[in-house]
């Protein structure tokens, strides 16, 4: 993941993996290190999960992303199409 983040050369790159229990693990990397939290990448990942992977999710995600620092609760996008954390 670090090598991909270094190649992307963005301020942060988010990676998510679906766990066997159906939850998602979420990690963030800069080009030089892993970081504990990245809000905008978390929102972007929630948007992608809801709109491309979890079409049938209800208002609250049944499998919120797990991170190194906490468990997030993402909510289905509203009329503006943006997820809420």
Average pLDDT along the chain, 85 residues, taken 10 residues at a time: 94 88 85 88 82 66 59 60 58
| pLDDT at 71 (0 to 100) | 59
Residue 72, classed as helix, strand or coil, is: coil
Instruction: Give dist(CA 12, CA 19) in Å, integer.
Output: 22
User: How far, CA to CA in Å, does 41 sit from each of 13, 48, 52, 63, 83?
Assistant: 7, 11, 16, 18, 12
Report the pLDDT value the prediction gives residue 78, as an integer from 0 to 100: 59
Q: Is 12 a catalytic residue?
A: yes
Catalytic member of 7, 12, 19, 34: 12
pLDDT of residue 62: 47
Number of C-alpha atoms within 13 angstroms, CB side, residue 32? 0
- pLDDT value for 7: 96
If one looks up domain 2-66 in CATH, what number appears? Answer: 3.10.310.10
Residue 47: what pLDDT? 81
Provide the pLDDT for residue 36. 84
The model scores a pTM over 0.85: no
Q: How high is the pLDDT of residue 6?
A: 96
């Amino acid at each position: 993941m670090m090598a991909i983040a270094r190649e992307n050369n963005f301020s942060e790159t988010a990676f998510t993996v679906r766990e066997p229990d159906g939850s998602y693990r979420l990690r963030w990397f800069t080009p030089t290190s892993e970081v504990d939290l990245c809000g905008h990448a978390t929102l972007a990942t929630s948007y992608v999960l809801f709109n491309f992977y979890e079409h049938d999710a209800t208002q609250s995600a049944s499998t919120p992303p797990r991170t190194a620092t906490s468990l997030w609760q993402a909510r289905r996008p509203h009329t503006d199409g943006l997820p809420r954390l």
